[in-house]
């Protein structure tokens, strides 16, 4: 593939391992500490770009892995070549596709349904006894009743 001969025009030494967006080259870069992680990410990126953006490899984007033994890092590069590919890159850069970005990073997006029920369970733990809630209601009513009585005395 012709893409293997391309060079990266960005200094990756200042970046930590992870995703790097090269807006000038319309290229998505992934910096990895070992070659196996880079090739696993390559497979994941093909799946994500195909399923989230309906992009096809070699038509919409070029994907390759470059290794640098001097820096001890491996770089997965994805250059977007078609208009659809550039639009997908724009959506990633502007955080318009957070789930796809998380998957490209290798993170699993949180399960919002599970986290919602966990939050409800925490709230229920706070008010575990109905008797506690009733006692608080009675105390609030006594305070309210006393406040209203004081206000009424002022108007007599």
Strands (DSSP E) found in the chain: 18-22, 27-32, 61-68, 73-80
Q: Does pLDDT of 46 surpass 90? A: yes
* Mean pLDDT of the chain, nearest integer: 79
Q: Are residues 15 and 76 in the same domain?
A: yes
The span from the CA of 22 to the CA of 78, in Å, is 10
pLDDT digits (tens, 9 = 90+) for 21-38: 888 889 999 988 888 889
* Residue 93 and residue 78 in contact, taking contact as beta carbons nearer than 8 Å: no
Q: Note whether 139 and 123 are same-domain residues.
A: yes
Per-residue model confidence as pLDDT tens digits over 95-145: 999 999 999 988 655 555 556 566 666 655 555 555 566 566 666 777 777
Assess whether 96 and 25 both reside in one domain: yes
3-state secondary structure of 137: helix
Percent of the chain with pLDDT over 70: 69
Domain count, the chain: 2
- Same domain for 59 and 85, yes or no, is yes
Rounded Cα–Cα distance for residues 84 and 21 (Å): 17
40/20 same-domain check:
yes
Could you list the residue range(s) of the whole structural domain that residue 141 is in?
Answer: 112-155
Distance CA 1, CA 104 (A): 22
| Distance separating alpha carbons of residues 46 and 68, to the nearest angstrom | 23
> What residue has token string 């209601």?
137
Cα R_g (the chain), whole angstroms = 28
Tokens of 85: 């590919």
Shared-domain flag, residues 88 and 149:
no
């Amino acid at each position: 593939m012709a893409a293997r001969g391309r060079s990266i025009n960005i200094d990756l030494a200042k970046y930590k391992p992870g995703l790097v967006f090269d807006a000038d080259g319309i290229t998505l870069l992934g910096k990895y500490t070992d070659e196996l992680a880079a090739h696993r990410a390559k497979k994941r990126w093909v799946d994500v770009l195909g399923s989230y953006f309906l992009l096809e490899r070699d038509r919409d984007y070029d994907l390759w892995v470059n290794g640098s033994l001097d820096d001890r890092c491996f770089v997965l590069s994805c250059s977007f070549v078609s208009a659809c590919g550039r639009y997908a890159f724009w959506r990633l850069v502007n955080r318009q596709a957070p789930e796809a970005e998380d998957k490209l990073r290798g993170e699993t997006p949180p399960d919002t349904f599970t986290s919602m029920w966990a939050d409800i369970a925490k709230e229920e733990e706070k008010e575990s006894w109905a008797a506690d809630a009733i006692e608080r209601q009675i105390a609030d009513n006594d305070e309210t009743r006393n406040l209203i009585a004081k206000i009424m005395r002022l108007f007599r």
